[in-house]
Structure 1
C-alpha cells in the first residue's frame, strides 16, 4: 500500500506541475528593424533626435503635444487621429550616442490601436561609413494579458503592429532624409 500511495502522489505532482507550467501568461516579445540611409548620421539624428519631433518623421502621426524636452520623464502625446492618442514617456536620451529610449506608460493607450502592453523602445542612429544605419527596437507583451487571447490582441497581432509601425516610420525617415 505505501508504494501505491507514493506512486499516486508522484502522479498527482507530475500532472499538476505540467498543468501549472502550461498555464503561464504571455511572454515578452521583441522586434528590431534597421534601415540604411544614405545621409550622414548627424543629419538623420537632426531629424529624429528631438523626442518631441515624431510628427516630422512618423507618417501616421498627425500632431504631437510634448513637454519636458529631451530630459528623462519628458512626455509626448502622439495624435494619430482626432480621438486617437498614444502617450509616451522618455526614459533616457543621448545626443552623444544618438539614441533615446521611451515607454508607453501602463494602461494609457487603447490596445485596439496598438495591441501591446508594457511597451518600451529604443531608436538609435550609427555612422555606417557611407551614410547611417537607424535601428529601432522594442520589447512588449501582447495586448491581452491572459491566456487564450482574441486574434486581434495575440502575440502575432502585437508583433505585426509593431513591425508595421517601425517599417513605415523608417521608410518615411529614409525618404525624408535623402530628399533634403
Structure 2
C-alpha cells in the first residue's frame, strides 16, 4: 500500500469517530409579555442593571459600575447571601434610549442554573395600542459539555430552567403593572 492510500484509509476510519463526537449545540430562548404600563415606566423598574430585585427569585444583590459596560452584579437567590445560591454577571451592552441591555453570566453553579456560556438581553418596546412589550432572550449551552449528559444537565433541562427564570420575572412585571386591557 502506498502512502496516499494508507492516509486515505486512515482518514476514512476516523470519520465515523469524528461524526459521533458532536458536542452540545447553542440553545436559544425568547420569552415576551405585554404590560399595561408605558415603556418609560417599565424601564424605570427594570432598566437598572444594578437592581434585579424586581425578579421574585432575587432576594438581594450587590454590584459595581452602575450601567456602564463591564459593570458587575452578584444575584443572591436566598437569605444565605454569599453562602447561598448566587449568580455573577457582567454587563456588555447598555442603551437607555432603546431601553435594552445585554449581559453574560460569569459564574454560576450548574445546580443553580444548568447552563454554560450564557448571554442574555432584556428589552422594553412600545406596544401597539398602548402599554409595553418586554422581551427577555438568551443563548447558552447546557450544563454538561460532553455527549450523553445526565438529565439534570441536558439541553431540555437548560431550556426549561432559563424559560422558567424569564417567565417568573415577566409574570412579576404583569403583576406589578397589569396586563393590557385589564
TM-score, normalised with respect to structure 2:
0.88
Correspondence 1:62 to 2:59: yes
Distance 1:41 1:9 in 2: 63
| Residue 114 of structure 1 pairs with residue 113 of structure 2 | yes
Number of aligned pairs? 173
Structure 2 equivalent of residue 43 of structure 1: 41
Match of 1:19 in 2: 17
Q: Where in structure 2 are the equivalents of 1:139-158 lying within 5 Å?
A: 139-158=139-158
Which residue of 2 is the match for residue 137 of structure 1?
137
2:105 maps to 104
Contact 1:43 1:177 in 2 (8 A): no
Deviation at 1:178, TM superposition (A): 2.7
Give the gaps of 5 or more residues in structure 1: none
Q: What is the distance in 1 between the residues matched to 2:97 and 2:147? A: 43
Sort the Cα spacing of 1:15 and 1:38 in 2 relative to 1 into closer, same or farther, 3 A.
farther
Corresponding residue SS for 1:25: coil
**Structure 2 segments unaligned to the other structure (5+ residues):** none
- CA distance in 1: counterparts of 2:41 and 2:90, whole angstroms: 24
Residue 29 of structure 2 aligns with which residue? Answer: 31
Name the one with the larger helix percent.
1
Give 2:50's aligned residue: 52
Query: What's 1:71 paired with?
Result: 68
Residue 63 of structure 1: how far off its partner (Å): 0.5
* Partner-residue secondary structure (3-state), 1:54: coil
Moved over 3 A (4+): 8-15
Task: Give the superposition deviation at 1:174.
Answer: 1.4
CA shift, 1:66, in A, is 1.4
Q: Distance in 2 between matches of 1:148 and 1:94?
A: 40
Question: Structure 1 length as normaliser, TM-score?
Answer: 0.89
SS in 2 for 1:174: helix
Q: For residue 173 of structure 1, give the secondary structure of its aligned residue in structure 2.
A: helix
Q: CA separation in 2, counterparts of 1:42 and 1:128? A: 12
